[in-house]
């Protein structure tokens, strides 16, 4: 039997099979020649001490023991060409993984996606960056793969209780992701590699007899006697099925408005909102690693920080080491920021959303919108930012220390945000209470991370699409909507996920419940 070990090693040892084997031999008081193979199970960085080390959990195989290289294989997916059909609205991670799960169950998914296929999205992303043109159905949020495809591809989730995280990671490896995502504590695919994986998933769905309809926006639901019967698209086509998974993502405002108009129950949901802060990556490395140069064996440093300010949580969100800030508006007349990193995370800047928890009471000025009050609060800030920055895809920006002093920055250096920035005092963008919390919060951040509070850091506003401002309520057991039988609210847009992994898990859960209902 292989021996399982847990140990700490220097970065250069963690990155060398030869050195790691020598280390394990000494640790186990064995001859190096007697070790056949070291299989790393988990790897993480411990930067709490002066000497930075990697935590390693591994299996040590000795000579004579039975060792076989484990290859991740995809499930034996069924051919479902002639099977019962289930509609999936949205081809983000929730929708795609729901489709794969349905195929495993012998059901035929009909995936309806308002945006373009993953490669076709690139032209529209270029247009928003270069020409400030927002395509309402094809942008960083909408299109095959959803918001995560071109906004980083992070796979870390705290939602371990929601489902089988390892299963989702293994499926991603089966579709072409690096096996390293099974090992790293904070796995990440990268915006440059994720599109091919998404394309391969879609091709598998189609090869098994499923359908994927692009540039097809759902504009109505067919409901009779509180039971879903199908959907109507903007082309006037009717797609019929009495099981519909609604996986439209956190920015599908037209879907929220449609549900509200049809008096299908939805609820306002608290979310978080703030800015995206960009620092030089070298500065974050110095703060996190306590050294002038991180060297070749340490990755660009991330950070995670949480503070309580005036009874509110203020925290980092979707931190992107070695990454860039991207324009993520979904309609003309608004600006929205997000961040992403390439797989190597080798760019010169680090950015993170820095957001504040909102409460339902904050939405009272928009009470006339009922369940859409939070969405209107969100929209108003995005539209105000658009106006203040010049009515293009430029965003309001301010140096961090200047913001804490309520002082307009005399100049804004070039940042990674390609459409550009306009120097604006951020207090004009946000409600007063929110600006005050962020001002105090950044001062607290600076006490915890010495050097973080600096005018070399540039704030970009707003970071407003952290999660859905609406929850679409569903039955705890069946996962069906509490009012409409056969409608399964799913993923981030429905308020039941936060990121690629948790959305994929929720998609599988909804598919499994449909399988149970139809068995």
Rounded to whole angstroms, what are the CA distances from 168 to 72, 120, 402, 503? 12, 26, 43, 10
pLDDT tens, residue by residue, 58-87? 999 999 898 888 889 999 999 999 999 999
**Facing residues of 109 across strands?**
86
| 358 CB neighbour count, 10 Å cutoff | 22
Q: Which CATH class is domain 85-266+470-518?
A: alpha beta
The confidence score (pLDDT) of residue 502 equals 93
Dihedral pair phi/psi, residue 281, rounded to 5°: -60, -35
- Residue 404 confidence (pLDDT) above 60: yes
The full length of the chain comes to: 519
Q: Where in the chain is the domain with CATH 3.30.70?
A: 3-62
Peptide bond into 462 cis (omega under 30): yes
pLDDT tens, residue by residue, 326-338? 999 999 999 999 9
* Mean pLDDT of all residues in 471-476: 98
| Average model confidence (pLDDT) across the chain | 95
- Give me 261's structure tokens: 């108009």
Q: Where in the chain is the domain with CATH 3.50.50.60?
A: 85-266+470-518
Collapsing DSSP to helix, strand or coil, 79 comes out as: coil
Closest CA to 416 of 303, 326, 306: 326
Helix segments in 49-143, DSSP class H: 93-104, 121-126
Closest CA to 425 of 443, 402, 442: 402
**DSSP code at position 152:** T
pLDDT tens, residue by residue, 441-459? 999 999 999 999 999 999 9
Closest CA to 393 of 316, 321, 460: 460
The confidence score (pLDDT) of residue 267 equals 98
Q: What does DSSP say about strands 244-246 and 85-89: parallel, antiparallel, or unpaired? A: parallel
**Facing residues of 244 across strands?**
87, 487
Instruction: Let me know: does 503 contact 492? Beta carbons within 8 Å.
Output: yes
- Residue 160 confidence (pLDDT) above 60: no
- Give me 327's structure tokens: 């324009």
- pTM, two decimals, is 0.95
- List the CATH code of the domain at 3-62: 3.30.70
pLDDT tens, residue by residue, 187-239? 888 778 889 999 999 999 999 999 999 999 999 999 999 999 999 999 999 99
Dist. CA 500–CA 163, nearest whole Å: 13
The confidence score (pLDDT) of residue 163 equals 66
The confidence score (pLDDT) of residue 159 equals 55
pLDDT tens, residue by residue, 234-282? 999 999 999 999 999 999 999 999 999 999 999 999 999 999 999 999 9
pLDDT tens, residue by residue, 161-184? 556 899 999 999 999 999 999 999
Please enumerate in sequence order all residues whose Cβ is within 8 A of that of 401, keeping only pairs 6 or more positions apart, or say none. Answer: 453, 454, 455
The confidence score (pLDDT) of residue 400 equals 98
């Amino acid at each position: 039997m292989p021996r399982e070990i847990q140990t700490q090693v220097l970065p250069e040892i963690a990155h060398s099979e030869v050195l790691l084997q020598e280390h394990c031999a000494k640790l186990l008081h064995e001859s190096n020649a007697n070790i056949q193979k070291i299989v790393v199970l988990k790897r993480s960085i411990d930067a709490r001490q002066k000497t930075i080390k990697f935590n390693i959990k591994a299996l040590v195989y000795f000579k004579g023991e039975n060792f076989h290289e484990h290859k991740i294989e995809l499930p034996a997916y069924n051919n479902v060409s002639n099977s019962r059909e289930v509609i999936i609205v949205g081809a983000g991670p929730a929708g795609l993984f729901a489709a794969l799960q349905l195929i495993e169950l012998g059901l035929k998914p009909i995936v309806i996606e308002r945006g373009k296929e993953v490669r076709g999205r690139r032209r529209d992303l270029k247009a928003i960056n270069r020409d400030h043109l927002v395509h309402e159905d094809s942008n960083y949020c909408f299109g095959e793969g959803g918001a995560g495809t071109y906004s980083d591809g992070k796979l870390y989730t705290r939602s371990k209780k929601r489902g089988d995280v390892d299963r989702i990671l293994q499926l991603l490896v089966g579709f072409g992701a690096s096996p390293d995502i099974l090992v790293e504590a904070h796995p990440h695919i990268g915006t440059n590699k994720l599109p091919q994986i998404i394309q391969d998933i879609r091709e598998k769905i189609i090869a098994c007899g499923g359908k994927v309809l692009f540039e097809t926006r759902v504009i109505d639901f067919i409901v009779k006697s509180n039971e879903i019967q199908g959907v109507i698209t903007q082309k006037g086509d009717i797609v019929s099925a009495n099981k519909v998974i609604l996986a439209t993502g956190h920015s599908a405002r037209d879907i929220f408005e449609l549900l509200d108009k049809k008096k299908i129950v939805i609820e306002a949901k608290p979310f978080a909102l703030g800015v995206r802060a960009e620092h030089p990556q070298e500065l974050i490395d110095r703060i996190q690693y306590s050294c002038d140069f991180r060297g070749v064996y340490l990755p660009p440093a991330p950070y995670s920080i949480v503070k309580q300010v005036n009874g509110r949580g203020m925290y980092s969100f979707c931190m992107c080491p070695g990454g860039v800030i991207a324009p993520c508006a979904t309609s003309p007349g608004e600006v929205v920021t997000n961040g992403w990193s390439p797989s190597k995370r080798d760019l010169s800047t680090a950015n993170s959303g820095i957001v504040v928890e909102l409460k339902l009471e904050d939405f009272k000025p928009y009470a006339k919108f009922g369940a859409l009050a939070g969405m209107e609060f969100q929209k108003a800030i995005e539209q105000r930012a658009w106006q203040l920055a010049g009515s293009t895809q430029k965003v309001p920006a301010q140096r961090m220390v200047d913001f804490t002093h309520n002082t307009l920055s005399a100049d804004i250096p070039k940042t990674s945000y390609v459409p550009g920035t306009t120097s604006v005092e951020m207090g004009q963008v946000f409600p007063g209470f929110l600006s005050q919390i962020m001002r105090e919060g950044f001062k607290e951040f600076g006490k915890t991370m010495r050097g973080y509070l600096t005018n070399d850091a540039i704030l970009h506003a707003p970071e407003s699409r952290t999660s859905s401002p609406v929850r679409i309520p569903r039955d705890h057991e069946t996962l069906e909507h509490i009012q409409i039988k056969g409608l399964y609210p799913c993923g981030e847009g429905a308020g039941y996920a936060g990121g690629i992994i948790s959305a994929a898990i929720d998609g599988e859960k909804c598919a499994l419940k449909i399988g149970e209902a139809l068995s």
